[in-house]
A = this chain, B = another copy of it.
Amino acid sequence: MKVGFIGLGNMGSAMARNLIKAGHALTVYNHTPSRAEEFRLLGVTVARTPSEAAAGAEAIITMVANDHAVEDVIFGSGKAIETLPAGAVHISMSTISVALSHRLVVAHRDKKQNFLAAPVFGRPDAAAAAKLFIAAAGPADQIARCQVLFDAMGQKTFIVGDEAPAANVVKVTANFLITTVIESLGEAFALIRKSGVNPEKFLEVLTGSLFAAPIFRTYGGMIAADNFEPVGFSMALGMKDNRLVLAAAEDAAVPLPMASLIRDRMLTATAQGMGEADWAAIARISFQEAGL
């Protein structure tokens, strides 16, 4: 397919590379042009503006930092929405607010364009290995048409509904669940350590029995070792995601006490200089509180 790919950060550049490898014709765009250079060397067309990336494309993919960045490349004169052909599709793959997803549905419909939300689960190494999990939502025919793209980037695509924002709800809610696992492990290991029990033994029990999931192995390992380097996903990004789930829940009038608790933990971590640490470092707040 002829694809305009917007956003070449750690995740985006790995995903774009996999699309190229699968034979798709990409035009790439990045806000900071230098990050597009490696693609130019590969012979890929580098657009100077979002509108150039969208012109003539069958699909554009946005994989950018936040809501503001999506608005910045899509909306307004000279932006992608102006040049994306009628009938083409915008696939939003980064983590954005449910509210923005609703706006995008309407904005693209007004231009007779299509819109899919297809946020991904996985860190940069999974993106590089084309092992992402993709939660896609939107019109079934559009998802079917884009499946070839998803297959090039991920190991599995979950179709969660025919209205795009459903995928964004799924994404922010699943991210919230990740944070609850982190916080619960922080508290649990505070008790384990202060009780004089070997944290590695405890982790072995967990991941060897009921808690045998990647999420417990990954974060349990970091927390048991009290080692949060290297930074995989920063506290600042974690706060952004926490804001997204709290905003979605506020709009839907759903209280999330655990998300509130995690917000307070992340604020505490930030106030104590951990703003750039891995978000799993909120476990350190539990350790401190326990006097460890």
A residues 250-267 touching B (CB-CB < 8 Å)? 250, 252-261, 263-265, 267
Indicate whether A191 reaches chain B with its CB closer than 8 angstroms.
Answer: yes
Q: Is the interface of A mostly helix, strand, loop or mixed?
A: helix
In the complex, identify which listed stretch (A21-29, A47-55, A83-91, A196-204) lies at the interface while the others stay far away: A196-204
Q: How far is the CA of A206 from the CA of B174 in the complex (A)?
A: 7
The smallest C-beta distance from A95 to any residue of chain B, in angstroms, reads 14
With A256-B187, A259-B187 known as contacts, the answer to whether A160 contacts B201 (CB < 8 A) is yes
Binary CB contact string for chain A from 134 to 161 against chain B (1 if under 8 A, 0 otherwise)? 0100000000000000000000101111
Inter-chain contact A194/B254, CB cutoff 8 Å = yes
In the complex, identify which listed stretch (A64-72, A106-114, A209-217) lies at the interface while the others stay far away: A209-217
Q: Smallest CB-CB separation from A220: which chain B residue?
A: B177
Indicate whether A76 reaches chain B with its CB closer than 8 angstroms.
Answer: no
Residues of B within 8 A of A245 (CB): 191
Inter-chain contact A187/B257, CB cutoff 8 Å = yes
Residues of B within 8 A of A237 (CB): none
Residues of B within 8 A of A261 (CB): 257-258, 260-261
Task: In the A-B complex, list the 6 residue pairs whose CB atoms are closest, starting with the nearest.
Answer: A213-B213, A271-B291, A260-B260, A180-B184, A255-B264, A253-B271
